[in-house]
């Protein structure tokens, strides 16, 4: 995409003039190269879709982060999901974008095609309802997502507990942003100098957890939304901090985010979940980076209810998703990008998900 094509694309956006004004400020202000990471795949897609990367000063390198829950869900969890979904008398429920994510052997679509009861739901509470309606079937919900989906997952467990449902369980797979930021910043290969934090996660969790990260790693963070104007504002604020030698957390998404976040949702999460070590696909285990069920809700854990311990796994040897998700490589650095790996025939999760970096680069022509 050229700069002219990007400007044409942007002209369809209602705040195009304001975006151009912010971009022009950036061009005036910047004095040296800076590498910024947008945490969330939704931000990556908006940047690509509106061609913002083509309009920014050359000094700014945007690096996509690990913020796509579909992409980072560990292969062993996908394989556990596939195995559970194939068991008799099981209705396996999931958000739609997990159905095409490849496990070691196939995906949930293939299980469904072979006769498995795999159903797409829009909320974990739909899965609870299914369990009520099908008392002779085990209903399992694939509880993926960042902190944003955790309150609804917690609510489903509480609801199932209230209803005394012994045929409902979840496959716990929630992942958490701050431990991933710690892992990125403490890596010897780290090149990130500033973050655009994901606005929707902060709507739930606030941004108080980011204050010690900024303090410890001397890295500015700006809470940023998903509109083109939100993104360029977030970039301007982060670059301004870097240019001025300031390391703070700034909120460029104040119409939705406060420092404390949604305390009711956080209380709900705490009531049901406890931080546990979690394996991130392609990255490895990050301490306390996921949510597991508290002891009192242990019986709603599908890995306990089904014997998933012996499931073997093998990752594609070609896929470099781990390096892509840590910002160490771009999708087009992968030898399979656009050839043996496409959205129609994905080898790794970042090419499947609507938030995946490889899918964004492919869809919006960054080849």
Residues that bind ligand SF4 (CB under 6 A): 318-321, 324, 331, 334, 336-337, 341, 346-348, 350-351, 358
By C-alpha distance, which of 147, 133, 137 is closest to 169? 137
Nearer Cβ to ligand SF4 (229/358)? 358
Residue whose C-beta lies closest to ligand SF4: 348
Would you say the C-alpha torsion 274, 275, 281, 285 has a positive or negative sign?
A: negative
How far apart are CB 323 and ligand SF4 at their closest, in Å? 8
Query: What are the residues whose beta carbons fall under 8 Å from the beta carbon of 62, sequence distance 6 or more?
Result: 36, 37, 38, 47, 53, 56, 235
**Cα 252 from Cα 247, distance rounded (Å):** 15
**Cα 138 from Cα 88, distance rounded (Å):** 9
Nearer Cβ to ligand SF4 (128/336)? 336
Nearer Cβ to ligand SF4 (116/348)? 348
Nearer Cβ to ligand SF4 (78/334)? 334
How far apart are CB 313 and ligand SF4 at their closest, in Å? 16
**Where do the H-state alpha helices sit in the chain?**
3-10, 16-29, 41-49, 52-55, 69-72, 75-85, 108-113, 124-133, 150-162, 177-186, 199-205, 211-217, 228-244, 263-272, 302-305, 321-325, 357-363
User: Around Cβ 367, how many Cβ atoms within 10 Å?
Assistant: 9
285's tokens: 């285990």
Angle, CA of 123, 127 and 128, to the nearest 5°: 110
Would you say the C-alpha torsion 280, 283, 285, 288 has a positive or negative sign?
A: negative
Instruction: Find out whether 200 and 176 touch, Cβ atoms under 8 Å.
Output: no
How far apart are CB 70 and ligand SF4 at their closest, in Å? 11
Instruction: Find out whether 358 and 341 touch, Cβ atoms under 8 Å.
Output: yes
Nearer Cβ to ligand SF4 (154/321)? 321
Nearer Cβ to ligand SF4 (82/351)? 351
Between β-strands 221-224 and 60-67, what pairing exists: parallel, antiparallel or unpaired? unpaired
Instruction: Find out whether 43 and 37 touch, Cβ atoms under 8 Å.
Output: no
Query: What are the residues whose beta carbons fall under 8 Å from the beta carbon of 249, sequence distance 6 or more?
Result: 197, 207, 210, 211, 214, 220, 221, 222, 223
């Amino acid at each position: 995409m050229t700069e002219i094509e990007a400007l044409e694309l942007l002209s369809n956006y209602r705040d195009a003039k304001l975006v151009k004004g912010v971009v022009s400020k950036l061009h005036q202000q910047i004095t040296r190269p800076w590498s910024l990471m947008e945490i969330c795949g939704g931000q990556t897609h908006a940047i690509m879709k509106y061609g913002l990367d083509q309009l920014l000063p050359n000094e700014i390198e945007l690096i996509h982060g690990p913020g796509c829950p579909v992409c980072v869900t560990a292969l062993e969890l996908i394989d556990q999901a596939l195995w559970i979904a194939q068991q008799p008398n099981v209705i396996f429920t999931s958000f739609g974008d997990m159905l095409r994510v490849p496990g070691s052997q196939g995906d949930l679509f293939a299980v469904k095609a072979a006769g498995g009861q795999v159903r797409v739901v829009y909320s974990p509470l739909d899965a609870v309802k299914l369990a009520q309606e099908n008392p002779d079937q085990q209903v399992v919900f694939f509880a993926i997502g960042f902190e944003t989906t955790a309150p609804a997952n917690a609510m489903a467990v509480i609801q199932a507990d209230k209803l005394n449902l012994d045929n409902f369980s979840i496959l716990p797979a929630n992942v958490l942003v701050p431990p991933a930021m710690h892992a990125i910043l403490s890596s010897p290969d780290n090149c990130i100098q500033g973050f655009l934090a994901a606005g929707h996660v902060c709507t739930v969790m606030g941004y108080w957890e980011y204050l010690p990260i900024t303090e410890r790693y001397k890295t500015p963070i700006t809470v940023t939304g998903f509109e083109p104007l939100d993104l360029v504002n977030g970039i301007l604020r982060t670059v301004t901090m870097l240019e001025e030698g300031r390391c703070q957390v700034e909120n460029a998404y104040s119409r939705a985010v406060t420092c404390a976040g949604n305390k009711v949702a956080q209380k709900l999460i705490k009531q049901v979940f406890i931080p546990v070590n979690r394996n991130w696909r392609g990255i490895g285990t990050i301490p306390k980076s996921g949510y597991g069920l508290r002891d009192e809700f242990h019986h709603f854990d599908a890995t306990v209810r089904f014997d998933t311990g012996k499931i073997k796994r093998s990752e594609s040897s070609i896929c470099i998703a781990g390096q892509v998700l840590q910002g160490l490589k771009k999708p087009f650095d992968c030898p399979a990008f656009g050839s043996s790996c496409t959205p129609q025939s994905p080898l790794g999760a970042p090419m499947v998900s609507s938030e995946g970096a490889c899918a964004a680069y492919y869809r919006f022509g960054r080849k």
